[in-house]
Amino acid sequence: MAEKKTVVDFSGVNTGNGRVRIPQGDYKARVKSVKHETSKNGNPMLVWEFEITDGEFRKKVLRDRTVLMDNPLWKLKQLLEAMGLQVPSKKVALDLAKYPGMGIGITVTDDEYDGKVNSKVSDYVNLAVLEEDEEEEYDEDDDEEEEEPAPRKRSKKSSKATAEDEEEIEDLDLDEI
């Protein structure tokens, strides 16, 4: 008697929700989700999911965490600025519902934990800067002369951030998250 086969449709199924391993480098991504959670140590944090938006690893998802305590807040500020937002030097609150879908450049590096290597987000880059870097690399490939590449610019306050973005952050209170 022949065994009955089970039909499973994997169309559109994303495998990027577990341990992810992709080559180190810079990638264009978008915020897939952001959630307020509590760390194992009892500290408030935001858990970010970034989905790569182009290239061979499109649709792969990487997670990162930003702890909402005084000392590590630099990382959250860097992330928000890489999304093109102006972050004032004062107390603010974040409307987490506004971030999914926003573009961001991420730098991915290898990380070893428990003898296993996986990819982690190690830095954030404004998409405009990332696209400039790509254009420079393309131009350098076309030139026959070899030149020393310019140092890569890291995310600064984006000139493309709008007044609406500034108001969006300033109107919110961080303590209410």
For 50-102, how does the pLDDT look when each residue is reduced to its tens digit (9 = 90+)? 999 999 999 999 999 999 998 999 999 999 999 999 999 999 989 999 999 99
Query: Percent of the chain beyond pLDDT 70?
Result: 71
Residue 98, in any domain of the structure? yes
Cα gap 131→28, rounded to integer Å: 9
Match 């959670």 to its residue by tokens. Answer: 37
Match 């999304």 to its residue by tokens. Answer: 83
Instruction: Determine whether 106 is exposed, middle or buried from the number of CB atoms within 10 Å of its CB (0-12, 13-18, 19+).
Output: buried
Cα gap 177→175, rounded to integer Å: 6
Residue 151, in any domain of the structure? no
Q: What residue numbers bound the domain in which 171 lies? A: 25-126+167-176
In which element (H, E) is residue 71 found?
Answer: none
Domains held by the chain: number: 1
pLDDT above 80 for 111? yes
Of 90-94, 101-105, 135-139, least confident by mean pLDDT is 135-139
Residue 74, in any domain of the structure? yes
Q: What is the pTM of this model?
A: 0.68
Residue 112, in any domain of the structure? yes
Residue 47, in any domain of the structure? yes
Residue 18, in any domain of the structure? no
**CATH code of the domain in which 94 resides:** 2.40.50
Length of the chain as a residue count: 177
Residue 147, in any domain of the structure? no
